[in-house]
Structure 1
C-alpha cells in the first residue's frame, strides 16, 4: 500500500500540474494531504504534518535563499557582474572568449539564480559574440550550461540547498562536491558540445525587445577584485569551515569558523559586505540599496513556496511511516540509491518540468535510503540535483527562457538546450558515482 500511495500521489501531482495547470505549491499541498489520508492518517493529522513540513523547511532555508537572492541583485545593479565579465574577456582575448564567458557565468552563477543569471549575462553574450565575430550560440550555450549547472549542483541555490535539508546533508561538503562535479559537466555540456555543431547551426538573433540592458560606464562599476571577492564570499567562508573541519578539527579557531562558515551566517556577512562594496561605496543611498532588497525578495516568493510544498510532502511521507517501508525494501536492494534517486528526479523532471519540484519530491521519496544504506547524504543531494535538470522541454520555464532570448525554433531549442542539459545531468550522475568510490 505505501508504494501504491506514492504512485497515486505522483500521478495526481502530474495531473494537477500538467493537465489542470495548477500551481505547483497548491498541487504539492493537495498531494501531501491525499497521500497522508491514503496511508491511514486522519485529515487533521495530515494537515498538522503538512504544517510541520512547511515550517520546518522554510525555517531552515529562508535566510539562505533570501540572502542569496539579495547578493545576486546587488551584484547586478552595481555593475559587478559586468565588471567580472569584461575583465575576464579582456584577459583571455578574443580567441578564448568562450572560455572567458564560461568562467564569468560560473562565477556569477554561484550568486545568481538561473533566471537572473540569464537576464544579466544575455546582453553580454550578444556583445561578446558580435565583438569577437562568432555565432551567438557559440558563446551563449556554454554560458547557459554554466548557469544551469551551478543552479542544479551548488548551494546556496534553492534546489540543492532545499534537497540538502531533506537529506540532512552538510552544505559545505555538498558545495565542494558540487563544484568538483560541475567543472567537467560545464566543459562537456558547454564548450565541447558546441563543437558538434556547424557554424551556421550556432547562429541566432537575440530579439532586442526582450531585454533592456544597462551599459555601465567604467567609473560606475566596482573594481574587478572587489566584485569577484564579494560575489565569492559565501563560498570562501563555507570552504574555510570545511577545510578546518577536515584538516584541523581540534583547532582553537574551530568555533569561529564554524560560526562564520554556517551558510546563513556566511550569506549574511556577504550581504553586509555587498551593501558597502556594491552600494554605499558606489555612491548609492541606502533607500536605493533597500529597493534592490525588495525587488530581489519579491522575485523568489514562489520559489520559497514550492520548496515549502516539497517539504510538506516529505514530512507526510515521514509521519505516515512510508519512509520506514521504503527503507525496509531498499535494505535488500542491489540498485544503487544514488542511481535510484537520480532516476526518480529525472522522471519527475521530464513529466513535470520543474527542477525544484522534481528534486524535492525525489528527495522526499529517497530520504530513508541514507539511513538504510549508509550512502553519503551529500552525494544523494547531487544525484537528485543531476536528475532534476535532465531533459528539459516545453513544460519547463527554462526551455522557453532559452528559446525566446535566443529567438530559436522549438526544434532547434530541443537540439541545443534539451540535449545540453541532459548531457550535464548524465555527467553529474557519473561524477557522483565516481566520488562515491573514494569516500
Structure 2
C-alpha cells in the first residue's frame, strides 16, 4: 500500500476508536480491540494471522506492565490504609509552615500520587485544604490548586503510577529515564501550574469550605457517573467500598513515621534510577552493573518496596497477614481494567507495525521535519480533548508512536522524554468529559464555569510546561 493509504487507514482506525468510546460509550478495552481488528483487516494482514498478531501484541505488553502496576497497586493501597499518605501531607504542611503551605501541599501531592491514585490522594489531603482555608480566610483555591497540581503531576509523570508505566511499556522505554524526566518536567510544572497559578486564580475566585463536604465521596462518585477516565472511575469505586474500613483502621492506630514512609517510597525510585545511571557509566560485564541491573530492575525494586511496606506499614503496626491479604487483594480492583486497556493498546501498536503504518508514519515525519516528540504530544492531546480519558489518550498515542520508534534509531533517554511528552499531552484541557474535572469541582464546591477557569487551566499549564521541558531536553539527547 502507498504511504497515503496507510495513513488514511490509521486515521479511520482512530476515528472508529473515538466513535466507539464517545458515542457508543463502549468500554475502552473492547473499543481498542475492535479498532485493532478493523485496521488489521483493511490494512492487509492475512486473516489467518490476525489472531496471532493480537496475541503477540497483548502478551508482549502485559508481560511487563501487569507486574509493575500490580506491585505498585499493593504498595499504594497499604500506604493509603496505614495512614502513610496522610502522614506525608500533615508533616510537610507542619514543617513548611503556613506561609509556605502551597509548596508543602504541592510536594505532598506529588509524593502521594506516585504510588496512590489521584482521587484517593485528594480524599486524603482535602481536609488540610479545608482547615487552612478556614484558618486563614483565603480562597480554597490558594491551597487546593497546588495540591491537585502535585497530585496531577505524580499521577501522570512519575512511575510507578499506571499512566507513564503503560506508555513506557508500549514504547519500550527505560523506567529510570522516565522517572528522571518525569521529575525534571514535573517540578517546574508544579511550580508554575500549582503554586504561581494558585496564587493568581485565588484572587479571582473566592471559595469557602462547601457545606456538603462530609458527603464529598458519594457526590464525587455520582458526579463522575458519565465520565470516561477509567483509572479514576475504577479507583473511585474501590475507594467507596474501602472507605469505612480505612477510617476504622486509622481511628485506632497511630500514623506511621514520616521518615519511614518517605524511605519506602524512595527506595524503588532510587534503585531504578541508579540502575539506569550505572548502565550508562559502567562497561558491560562489570559485576556491579550486572548486580544493579537485577536489583534496580522495576520488578525487583518494586517487589522489595512492597515487602517492606508489608512489614513496616502492616505487620509492625499490628495488621495480621489476613488483614494485609485483604487490603492488597482489594488493591487489584481499580488496576485490572488499566492493565487490560494497556494490553489492548499493545495490540493496536502491533497491528500498526504489521500493516506497515509505522514505516509510513516515519516517512511522513521525515518529509515534514516534524520531531517525533512533538507528534507524540499532539496525538495524545488531540485524543485527550476528544474523549477525556487520560489513560486512553496515553495508550492511543503510544500505540501510534511505538511503530515509528521501531523503524528508527532513538536513544534510551529520548524514548524516556517521548514517554513524558505523551503524558503531558494526555494531561491538558481536562473538561466536562473527564472525571477529574467533576471530582475536583465537587470537592471544592465550584460551578462548571469556575472549574474550567481553575482546574482546566491548571491542567493545561502542567501539560504545556511538562512538554516544554522535555522538548528542550530532547535536542541534547
- TM bucket normalised to smaller: over 0.9
Q: Is the 8 A contact 1:138 1:202 kept in 2?
A: no
Q: Following TM superposition, by how much is the alpha carbon of 1:184 offset from its aligned partner in structure 2, in angstroms?
A: 0.1
2:418 counterpart residue number: 380
2:62 counterpart residue number: 58
Q: Is the 8 A contact 2:72 2:302 kept in 1?
A: yes
1:81 counterpart residue number: 85
Q: Following TM superposition, by how much is the alpha carbon of 1:48 offset from its aligned partner in structure 2, in angstroms?
A: 2.4
Whole-Å Cα distance in 2 between the matches of residues 5 and 219 of structure 1? 58
Q: Is the 8 A contact 1:328 1:372 kept in 2?
A: no
Identify the match of residue 247 of structure 2 among 201, 214, 224.
214
1:240 counterpart residue number: 274
Whole-Å Cα distance in 2 between the matches of residues 66 and 168 of structure 1? 18
Write the mapping of 1:407-426 to structure 2, written as runs, cut at 5 A.
Answer: 407-426=445-464
Write the mapping of 1:276-425 to structure 2, written as runs, cut at 5 A.
Answer: 276-370=311-405, 371-372=407-408, 374=410, 376-425=414-463
1:433 counterpart residue number: 471
| TM-score, normalised via structure 2 length | 0.88
Q: Is the 8 A contact 1:341 1:383 kept in 2?
A: yes
Which string of whole-angstrom CA distances, capped at 9 and with x for unpartnered residues, describes residues 314-351 of structure 1? Answer: 11111222112222222333111111111111001100
Whole-Å Cα distance in 2 between the matches of residues 32 and 328 of structure 1? 22
1:181 counterpart residue number: 185
Whole-Å Cα distance in 1 between the matches of residues 185 and 400 of structure 2? 24
Which string of whole-angstrom CA distances, capped at 9 and with x for unpartnered residues, describes residues 78-105 of structure 1? Answer: 1111111111111111111111111111
Q: What is the CA RMSD across the aligned residues, in angstroms?
A: 1.9
Extract unaligned runs of 5+ from structure 1.
none
Identify the match of residue 49 of structure 2 among 45, 48, 53.
45
The reply on whether 1:269 has 2:269 as its aligned counterpart is: no
Whole-Å Cα distance in 2 between the matches of residues 433 and 59 of structure 1? 30
Q: Is the 8 A contact 1:107 1:232 kept in 2?
A: no
Q: Is the 8 A contact 1:330 1:369 kept in 2?
A: no
Which string of whole-angstrom CA distances, capped at 9 and with x for unpartnered residues, describes residues 138-172 of structure 1? Answer: 11111111111122211212121111122211110
Worse overlay, 234-243 or 21-30 = 234-243
Return closer, same or farther for 1:50/1:208 CA change in 2, 3 Å cut-off. Answer: same
SS at match of 1:389: coil
SS at match of 1:308: helix
Whole-Å Cα distance in 1 between the matches of residues 318 and 26 of structure 2? 45
Q: Following TM superposition, by how much is the alpha carbon of 1:286 offset from its aligned partner in structure 2, in angstroms?
A: 0.8
Whole-Å Cα distance in 1 between the matches of residues 7 and 293 of structure 2? 40
1:34 counterpart residue number: 38
Return closer, same or farther for 1:168/1:198 CA change in 2, 3 Å cut-off. Answer: closer
Q: Following TM superposition, by how much is the alpha carbon of 1:198 offset from its aligned partner in structure 2, in angstroms?
A: 4.3
2:124 counterpart residue number: 120
Identify the match of residue 259 of structure 2 among 225, 240, 246.
225
Identify the match of residue 13 of structure 2 among 9, 13, 25.
9
The reply on whether 1:108 has 2:141 as its aligned counterpart is: no
Q: Following TM superposition, by how much is the alpha carbon of 1:427 offset from its aligned partner in structure 2, in angstroms?
A: 0.5
1:152 counterpart residue number: 156
Q: Is the 8 A contact 2:387 2:433 kept in 1?
A: yes
Number of residues of Structure 1 aligned to a counterpart in Structure 2? 439
Which string of whole-angstrom CA distances, capped at 9 and with x for unpartnered residues, describes residues 196-252 of structure 1? Answer: 224461414342112468394696111111111112221121122223223444653
Whole-Å Cα distance in 2 between the matches of residues 249 and 194 of structure 1? 47
Whole-Å Cα distance in 2 between the matches of residues 47 and 354 of structure 1? 27
Whole-Å Cα distance in 2 between the matches of residues 202 and 53 of structure 1? 50
Q: Is the 8 A contact 2:142 2:201 kept in 1?
A: no
SS at match of 1:253: helix
| TM-score, normalised via structure 1 length | 0.95
Q: Is the 8 A contact 1:17 1:27 kept in 2?
A: yes
SS at match of 1:374: coil
